[in-house]
Chains A and B, each alone.
Chain A
């Protein structure tokens, strides 16, 4: 049973470029959340997708957008990259019916470096 998989593992971009990160949730999970983790910090919530809709959003600008596909996989898009966007981007999947104690399973992340 595959866990949460993210691609690519590492990515180097330059300022102003656009990037797309991908996530496949754990088998059976229908909800995907995206987080940004700066070096030495805890993850910051970007947004969550369920039933192909953005259900909630954290305090991130519109340059950050996403999508969820019918197979529950998800993409995170970041436009007009800034140096400050350099971080580890984590995807977490969960089951919407799991209730408040629902555990989020994290992928290994995509390390984005913006030069």
Chain B
């Protein structure tokens, strides 16, 4: 069954600290893996896209990793800011229209 599982479900960290979010998937076939940030009441915004051959991709303070062998990905946030408070959704793409979404990790950054 095609599934994307994320952990933890929720996370609270202090401003300035780092954190890592996890994503495990069983989706096949695999085209690419995406991380989205979704602010409350807003639509998701793409952070990174990684194909099978890419291990790491950065976007500012966000760094995503991908291990296609173990079917795991992580999103590392460095020096967190209050504006990082949001849900982070891992999405595995099977084709241009078959996107399998995880349930997301809700991150709260406290001052």
Give the contact-size bracket for chain A.
20 to 34
Which B residues touch A92, using CB under 8 A? 43
Determine whether the beta carbon of B93 is less than 8 Å from that of A43. Answer: no
Say which residue of A98, A101, A104 sits within 8 Å of B99 (CB atoms): A104
A56 lies within 8 A of B97 (CB) = yes
Chain B: how many interface residues by the 8 Å CB criterion?
A: 25
The reply to whether A45 and B43 form a contact with Cβ atoms under 8 Å apart is: no
If A4-B43, A42-B102, A56-B97 are given as contacts, then 20 extra A-B residue pairs at C-beta distance below 8 Å, sorted by A number, are: A40-B103, A43-B44, A43-B101, A48-B97, A55-B97, A56-B98, A92-B43, A94-B96, A99-B96, A100-B31, A101-B32, A103-B34, A103-B46, A104-B46, A106-B43, A106-B45, A107-B43, A108-B42, A109-B42, A111-B41
